[in-house]
Amino acid sequence: MVKKIALEEHFLDPSTVDYWRPTMVDVAPPKTAQLFGCLTDFGERRLATMDKAGIARVVLAIAGPGVQVERDTATAVRKARASNDFLAHEVQKRPDRYSGFAHLAMQDAKAAADELERCMRELKFCGAMINGHTHGKYLDDRSYDPFWERAAELGAPIYLHPADPVAPLPAIAGYNVLARPMWGWGVETGSHALRIICGGVFHRYPKAKLLLGHLGETLPFQLWRFDSRSKPYGWNLPKPPSQYLKENVWVTTSGMYDAPPVHCSLDALGRDHVMFSSDYPFDSEGAAQFMDTVKLDESLRADIAFNNAAKFFGLS
């Protein structure tokens, strides 16, 4: 069993649980209760699950949209800070096993930047997880420039987590099975990442770092097409799309436990841009077994499972 660091591992706290519950309306109550138990446990249950999977450390982030769906900005800012303080307290209990991603109120770019800085400098977090758009505003919006500038200065990676689109996609209307994890979330999150690239965020802030789960939401598969089809349609940035992806985007294995996309991501982005995650407790079954058994050179397996994240986040 290879030693692992997992990067998309979820929890809930009193400040964010009420934002999570509406996302469970289509889930059977017993399953919701089981997930809630996992998400609110920081003791033996979570640690035993980690030990069984060979996970030495997890970077914890809140589940669900969190305060990004809050309509009152002041409330969102206050609850994000409370959530981060809660997580910091839990991390302090087991600093050898737990680290954290900041939760941010993206309704206010400056407040989000300030909270990110507090979390990085005072709470010693690893970066932040942002759950998609905030009331229809995506992270390429120029109002977020102060946030990206601060994130780049801090060296704070931003993990872009899936969220529901602003409106249902007409192309999949009537097919609920396609709406979320099977397809819709990947389309939404991959498109969001492309907006960040096309909007020039990485041109303005070349030290900014973006993480994507699910081995990059299909983007590594598309590099040649992005480059070949961008210039004729108004591409005006100094580097081709693939270069920004290779320089500024890292991907994790969360919810994608299959050899071909792993090899595609490695070939497209490079061995140091692929890391392990298990999406606990939502899509974690089979994650560790896959990492332990997928056909890879053993040094590469160790890099994906542990070494890349240890170096990227300064963890051990």
What's the confidence (pLDDT) of residue 121?
98
Task: Give pLDDT tens digits along the chain (316 positions).
Answer: 999 999 999 999 999 999 999 999 888 999 999 999 999 999 999 999 999 999 999 999 999 999 999 999 999 999 999 999 999 999 999 999 999 999 999 999 999 999 999 999 999 999 999 999 999 999 999 999 999 999 999 999 999 999 999 999 999 999 999 999 999 999 999 999 999 999 999 999 999 999 999 999 999 999 999 999 998 999 999 999 999 999 999 999 999 999 999 999 999 999 999 999 999 999 888 999 999 999 999 999 999 999 999 999 999 7
What's the confidence (pLDDT) of residue 26?
85
Q: What is the pTM of this model?
A: 0.97
Could you count the other beta carbons within 10 Å of the beta carbon of residue 314?
11
Q: Rounded to 10 degrees, what is the CA torsion of 307, 302, 209, 138? A: -140
Contact (CB, 8 A) for 296 and 258: no
Name the residue range of residue 232's domain.
4-313
* Residues forming the active site: 279
Number of domains in the chain: 1
CATH code for the domain of 66: 3.20.20.140
Q: How many CA atoms lie within 13 A of 119 on its CB side?
A: 35
Contact (CB, 8 A) for 89 and 100: no
Residue ranges of E strands in 183-240: 210-212
As a whole number of angstroms, the distance between CA 111 and CA 68 comes to 13
Comparing C-alpha atoms, which of 203, 307, 210 is closest to residue 250?
210
